[in-house]
Amino acid sequence: MKRLTLLGSTGSIGASTLDVVARHPDRFSIFALTAHSNHEKLADQCLKFKPEWAVVGSAEGASLLEARLRSAGSATRVGYGPEALVAVASDPGADTIVAAIVGAAGLASTLAAARAGKTILLANKEALVMSGALFLDAVCENHATLLPLDSEHNAIYQCLPPHAAGAAPHGGVEKIILTASGGPFRTRDPKTLADITPEQAVKHPNWSMGRKISVDSATMMNKGLEVIEAHWLFGLPAERIEVLIHPQSVIHSMVAYKDGSVLAQLGNPDMRTPIAHALAYPDRVDAGVQPLDLAAIATLTFEKPDEARFPCLRLAFDALRAGGTASAALNAANEVAVEAFLAGRTRYTSIADTVARVLDTISHRAAHTLDDVLEVDREARSLAAGLLGTRDEPLAAAVR
């Protein structure tokens, strides 16, 4: 029986994870569930999965959650705030931590899980993008295990020789190929990109995901973050990581070997497949996913990404090549710009502009300690907010 702590249980990855967990009560039980503000959904999850702990973002949310749980006769204990997240991520009551908080907010708890030597099922790519080598050192030094939930990285993990994640892969690997759907604006007239609304940007053609990652998928910053994530997970330099647009999202990624073989992992675009793979690893369990019907799909197509349409992808490669704290600056600027865009405070096209200007302005340094990373994160956030503030142009009717 694996005992799980699910950080970010009310999100899209959280819900898919609980769906798989519910199918296998003989294999998985829940030690802790956490949410930021949706205490009602968290209460429903607690009543169903009966964790020992539930954590929310604020004291007020905690008392509302507590009242609801007590009136329903639940014994789940309630905590709140970042310290409580760190506590449940490192508590001996769980052996496996699903890191599914979105953005930099997930870094401290995911790192705490690594320091406590847990098996970490990583969805929170931003945490790894920010802290890179520091995070991997914590995994290594504390004998933690890292399994990727991101569908591309999970696919690569499945196509690599056993036990290659977190270390330089087998010498026979030539490169890895990350597939990308191209998002909702792959064929849109580039002259109209500035008019894109948040509602249009979060409507992904193939995947149903949280709002931030959906915007990242539209700009392809998501793929850029995934390139950096792949660099750390699989120990390959930028030159040996390729991005290929594949609009059907059936091939989730590929590994090309020196002998000319290319191994791919295929499946329907449903996160329950990589989640079930990592949860049950090294076993295989039913994930509730529809079987793949290739005859019905009939056509798989591929194209090179258009750099002019997706400047965020190049920016991420630039940050990876620059090294040190550059990826943390990229991530922070992107989080601030995406939030401003989702709130209707800036245009879609300012996301890439803001990230580019922050990367140009901030001096990159070595990331020796977590403080180095957090300092650059703060600096980049404040710079991005300033840039977005000065550009707080009247909203286009479509954005309002």
Q: What would the x/- binding string for Mg ion be over residues 126 to 155, using CB under 5 A?
A: ------------------------xxx---
H-helix segments, the chain: 12-23, 39-49, 59-71, 81-90, 107-115, 125-141, 151-159, 198-201, 211-219, 221-234, 272-280, 294-297, 311-322, 326-342, 349-361, 370-390
User: Cβ contacts of residue 235 below 8 Å, gap of 6+?
Assistant: 166, 167, 168, 169
SS3 content of the chain, % helix, strand, coil (to 5): 50, 15, 35
Q: Which is nearer to ligand NAD, 4 or 105 (CB)?
A: 105
| Structure letter (DSSP) for residue 363 | P
Interface pick for ligand NAD out of 14, 51, 198, 305 (rule CB under 6 A): 14
Q: Does 271 bind ligand NAD (CB under 6 A)?
A: yes
Phi-psi category of residue 218: left, alpha or beta, with phi > 0 → left and psi -120 to 50 → alpha:
alpha
User: At closest approach, how far in Å is the CB of 390 from ligand NAD?
Assistant: 26
Stretch that binds ligand NAD, among 32-40, 43-51, 276-284, 347-355 (CB under 6 A): 32-40
CB 166 within 8 A of CB 139: yes
User: Cβ contacts of residue 42 below 8 Å, gap of 6+?
Assistant: 9, 10, 33, 34, 35, 54, 56, 65
Count of positions on this chain that bind ligand NAD (CB under 6 A): 26
Q: Which is nearer to ligand NAD, 118 or 204 (CB)?
A: 204
- Residue 14 binding target from Mg ion, ligand NAD, none, CB below 5 to 8 Å by type: ligand NAD
- Residue 267 binding target from ligand NAD, Mg ion, none, CB below 5 to 8 Å by type: none
Q: Which is nearer to ligand NAD, 69 or 213 (CB)?
A: 213
Q: Does 379 bind Mg ion (CB under 5 A)?
A: no
- Residue 124 binding target from Mg ion, ligand NAD, none, CB below 5 to 8 Å by type: ligand NAD
Q: Which is nearer to ligand NAD, 195 or 219 (CB)?
A: 219
Q: Which is nearer to ligand NAD, 103 or 324 (CB)?
A: 103
Phi-psi category of residue 117: left, alpha or beta, with phi > 0 → left and psi -120 to 50 → alpha:
left
On the CB side of 208, CA atoms within 13 Å amount to 8
- Residue 201 binding target from Mg ion, ligand NAD, none, CB below 5 to 8 Å by type: none
For residue 167, the tally of other CB atoms under 10 A from its CB is 12
Return phi, psi of residue 147, to 5°.
Answer: -125, 130
Q: Which is nearer to ligand NAD, 58 or 392 (CB)?
A: 58
CB 82 within 8 A of CB 59: no
For ligand NAD, the nearest residue by Cβ is 11
Q: Which of residues 55-94 bind ligand NAD (CB under 6 A)?
A: 57
Q: Which of residues 131-190 bind ligand NAD (CB under 6 A)?
A: 150
Q: Does 270 bind Mg ion (CB under 5 A)?
A: no
Stretch that binds ligand NAD, among 6-14, 62-70, 321-329, 386-394 (CB under 6 A): 6-14
Interface pick for ligand NAD out of 35, 160, 221, 336 (rule CB under 6 A): 35
- Residue 186 binding target from Mg ion, ligand NAD, none, CB below 5 to 8 Å by type: none
Q: Which is nearer to Mg ion, 56 or 221 (CB)?
A: 221
| Structure letter (DSSP) for residue 396 | P
Q: Which is nearer to Mg ion, 66 or 152 (CB)?
A: 152
3-state secondary structure of 237: coil
Query: What value does the CA radius of gyration of the chain take, rounded to a whole number of Å?
Result: 20
Closest listed residue to residue 151, CA positions, set 179, 128, 129: 179
| Cβ burial, residue 397 (10 Å; 0-12/13-18/19+) | exposed
Site of interaction with Mg ion (CB under 5 A): 150-152
> Which chain residues interact with ligand NAD by CB under 6 A?
8-14, 35-36, 38, 57, 100-102, 105, 123-126, 150, 207, 209-210, 212-213, 271
